[in-house]
């Protein structure tokens, strides 16, 4: 049982705790009430704020929308004002640009083209927006005036600055391909760079905005004239140089410095003079012939003007190729690509036609020369034809894209020259065979006939034109192999032709030799001609060409020469027979017959000629040996026989005297 004191104390303790709990509960209750009140106040404030925000929003949104509308209106106004300014500017274009257009583009092309661009835009605006506006007519008229001024400026620039290329520069340009010492290529500046750029800009504007192609006609006409005049100037240069110095020259430029020209001989593309020089060499060695009868005009009398004309034409052909190449490079910068080929075709026509006409004139002159048997003139065709064939690949390349009629001009000329060349070769061979001059103008001394020297000289020309001459002959062949003939085929044709000429010549010489009444003189004549032919063949290397189809030609000529020497030697039998041992013993008439015969032969044969000193000495020596041996044997046997009181009357000459007399044979100066 709990004591009362403890129970009382415990009750007080519980009461105290309860009281504290009540106080705590009361505090919590007060706090909750305050919190509820604050919450209510906050809710009230927030509700009020929300209401105010809604009111504010309802007030601001219309203002914002109105502001946006105002900004849009402002932008539209600004755009409208800008468009108005732009449109108004078109109405001022005519007045703003009229002065510039009136004064022209010279010296201020950039500004001028800028003005033309403004006018072009104004025209486009009025056409789209106000086609009935008077302003359209104004700017249109101004645009046409401006375009005409640009066309005029194009013509003016091309005319003022297009210069004829000097012969000196052309020759340097031509020789540049062959000049191994050249450090730089020779270049042509047809137009100054600043002018070229202006011309290019005008050209492009006229094509793009001017819708005009007339300037292309202006271009080709101006450049065509300069090209043609440049080539003609080169030809005149050859004529002037040849008349003043005798040899045309090219003032070549060392290291291509344009201010220090020095004379340099032009490369001679032909070799016409080469054979003539050989003939002179043969003359110095005693191989030339005197003027005998022949209806062939002498080649050594050939006019040097033919060489000048030939060289001039050949150089003009090369000049055309080089200048045409240069013209195309210039044209490619100025003329639109799809018009370049046609414009170039038109540009080169005058110069090309001039070359082709001159070539046809050469063919025509050769045709006439054949009729009068002037084969020296015909020879001009050979170097020209060779050069045309060598140049043809470049020609074809330059003429790429031109009309077929343009491309076919050079092949047509080549065909004409091959045909006339073949005709000349054929007629020459026939004339050698049929030369009718047998009784008149035959060399009285039996020297080389002019027909022989002319024939050999003509054949010597063919050495340096073997391919050309062979192609001429092959072009006339009707066999299928001729359509694609090889160099070997044409070489055999040429060899056959040369053998034919030599055969015809030999037949003609045999016929001519019968004109001489004295068989010995006939033999000397044939000997001289055969010897001349053989030596000429050997010295000029014709013998190798002959040997292609006739291996024994050299041996055959040597045999012919020996036969004629033997025939000549028989002429002395009528002298030596008087004292020959088979006719001994000799009586007085026999001795006198030897003396008279010796004197007569020496007198006659002294006037005969053997131009070849080696052959002359050989024939003299052989004859001297035979006669001296026969006469010496006679004197040794009968010189001391007293058959007369006056032996000196019959034995007039000693052995050495007889030898000296024979040494003076074939020597009109002795």
Please write the tens of the pLDDT for every residue from 262-283: 334 444 444 444 444 444 444 4
User: Distance between terminal CA atoms of the chain?
Assistant: 206
pLDDT in tens, 94-112: 788 888 988 899 988 999 9
**Gap between the Cα atoms of 596 and 589, Å rounded:** 10
- Rounded distance, CA 309 to CA 275, Å? 18
State which H helix or E strand residue 250 sits in: strand 249-250
Per-residue pLDDT for 634 more than 60?
yes
Among residues 424, 510, 505, the alpha carbon closest in space to that of 461 is found at 424
pLDDT tens by residue, 28-83: 988 898 888 888 888 888 888 888 888 887 878 887 788 788 778 777 776 765 66
Mean pLDDT is lowest, of 216-230, 236-250, 303-317, 627-641, for 236-250
DSSP string over 535-552: HHHHHTTHHHHHTTT-TT
**Over 90: is that where the pLDDT of 590 sits?**
no
pLDDT greater than 50 at residue 163 = yes
pLDDT band at residue 533 using 50, 70 and 90 as cut-offs: very high
State pLDDT tens for residues 351-381.
999 999 999 999 999 999 999 988 888 888 9
Give me the helices (H) in 104-166, please.
Answer: 109-129, 134-161
469-505: burial string, b at 16+ Cβ within 10 Å, e else: bbbbbbbeeeeeebeebeeebbbbbbbebbbbbbebb
What is the pLDDT at residue 230?
Answer: 96
Euclidean distance between CA atoms 157 and 372, whole angstroms: 53
List Cβ<8 Å contacts ≥24 apart for 472-479: 472/385, 472/418, 472/421, 472/422, 472/425, 473/422, 473/425, 473/497, 475/415, 475/418, 475/419, 475/422, 476/419, 476/422
**pLDDT exceeds cutoff 90 at 565:** yes
The residue among 153, 319, 151, 148 whose CA lies nearest residue 226 is: 319
Predicted pLDDT of residue 109:
92
Q: Which residues pair with 249 in a beta bridge?
A: 265
Q: What is the pLDDT of the chain when averaged over all its residues?
A: 83
Mean pLDDT, to the nearest integer, of 433-461?
85
pLDDT at residue 526 tops 90: yes
Residue 336 confidence (pLDDT) = 92
Distance CA 522, CA 513 (A): 5
Coil/strand/helix, residue 107: coil
State pTM to two decimals.
0.74
Share of residues in the chain with pLDDT > 90 (%): 48
């Amino acid at each position: 049982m709990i004591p009362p004191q403890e129970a009382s104390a415990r009750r007080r303790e519980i009461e105290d705790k309860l009281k504290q709990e009540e106080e705590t509960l009361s505090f919590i209750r007060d706090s909750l009430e305050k919190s509820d009140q604050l919450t209510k106040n906050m809710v009230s404030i927030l509700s009020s704020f929300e209401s105010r925000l809604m009111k504010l929003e309802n007030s601001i949104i219309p203002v914002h929308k109105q502001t946006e509308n105002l900004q849009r209106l402002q932008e539209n106004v600004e755009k409208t004002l800008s468009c108005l300014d732009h449109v108004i500017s078109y109405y001022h274009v005519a007045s703003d640009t009229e002065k510039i257009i009136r004064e022209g583009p010279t010296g201020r092309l950039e500004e001028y083209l800028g003005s033309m661009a403004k006018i072009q835009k104004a025209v486009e605006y009025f056409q789209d927006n106000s086609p009935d506006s008077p302003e359209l007519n104004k700017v249109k008229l101004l645009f046409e005036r401006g375009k005409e001024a640009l066309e005029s400026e194009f013509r003016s620039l091309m005319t003022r600055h297009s210069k004829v290329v000097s012969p000196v520069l052309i020759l340097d340009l031509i020789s540049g391909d062959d000049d191994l010492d050249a450090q730089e290529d020779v270049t042509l500046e047809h137009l100054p760079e600043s002018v070229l750029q202006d011309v290019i800009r005008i050209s492009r504007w006229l094509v793009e905005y001017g819708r005009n192609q007339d300037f292309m006609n202006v271009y080709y006409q101006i450049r065509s004239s300069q090209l043609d005049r440049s080539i003609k100037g080169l030809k005149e240069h050859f004529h002037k140089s040849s008349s003043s110095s005798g040899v045309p020259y090219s003032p070549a430029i060392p290291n291509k410095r344009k201010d220090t020209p020095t004379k340099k001989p032009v490369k001679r593309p032909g070799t016409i003079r080469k054979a003539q020089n050989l003939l002179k060499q043969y003359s110095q060695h005693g191989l030339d012939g005197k003027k005998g009868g022949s209806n062939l005009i002498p080649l050594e009398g050939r006019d040097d003007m033919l060489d000048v004309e030939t060289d001039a034409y050949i150089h003009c052909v090369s000049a055309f190729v080089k200048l045409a190449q240069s013209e195309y490079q210039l044209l490619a910068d100025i003329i639109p690509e799809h018009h370049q080929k046609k414009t170039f075709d038109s540009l080169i026509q005058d110069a090309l036609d001039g070359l082709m006409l001159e070539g046809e004139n050469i063919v025509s002159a050769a045709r006439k020369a054949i009729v009068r048997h002037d084969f020296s003139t015909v020879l001009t065709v050979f170097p020209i034809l060779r050069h045309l064939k060598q140049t043809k690949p470049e020609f074809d390349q330059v003429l790429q894209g031109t009309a077929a009629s343009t491309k076919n001009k050079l092949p047509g000329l080549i065909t004409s020259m091959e045909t006339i060349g073949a005709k000349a070769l054929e007629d020459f061979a026939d004339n050698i065979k049929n030369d009718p001059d047998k009784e008149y103008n035959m060399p009285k001394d039996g020297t080389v006939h002019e027909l022989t020297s002319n024939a050999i000289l003509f054949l010597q020309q063919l050495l340096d034109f073997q391919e050309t001459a062979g192609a001429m002959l092959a072009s006339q062949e009707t066999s299928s192999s001729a359509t694609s003939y090889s160099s070997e085929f044409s070489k055999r044709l040429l060899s056959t032709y040369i053998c034919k000429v030599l055969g015809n010549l030999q037949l003609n010489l045999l016929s001519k030799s019968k004109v001489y009444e004295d068989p010995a003189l006939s033999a000397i004549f044939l000997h001289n001609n055969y010897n001349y032919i053989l030596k000429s063949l050997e010295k000029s290397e014709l013998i190798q060409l002959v040997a292609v189809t006739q291996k024994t030609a050299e041996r055959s000529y040597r045999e012919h020469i020996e036969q004629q020497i033997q025939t000549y030697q028989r002429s002395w039998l009528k002298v030596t027979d008087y004292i020959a041992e088979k006719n001994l013993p000799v009586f007085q008439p026999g001795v006198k017959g030897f003396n008279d015969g010796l004197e007569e032969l020496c007198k006659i044969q002294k006037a005969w000629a053997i131009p070849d000193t080696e052959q002359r000495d050989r024939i003299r020596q052989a004859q001297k040996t035979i006669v001296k041996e026969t006469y010496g044997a006679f004197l040794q046997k009968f010189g001391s026989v007293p058959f007369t009181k006056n032996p000196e009357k019959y034995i007039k000459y000693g052995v050495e005297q007889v030898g000296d007399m024979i040494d003076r044979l074939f020597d009109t100066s002795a």
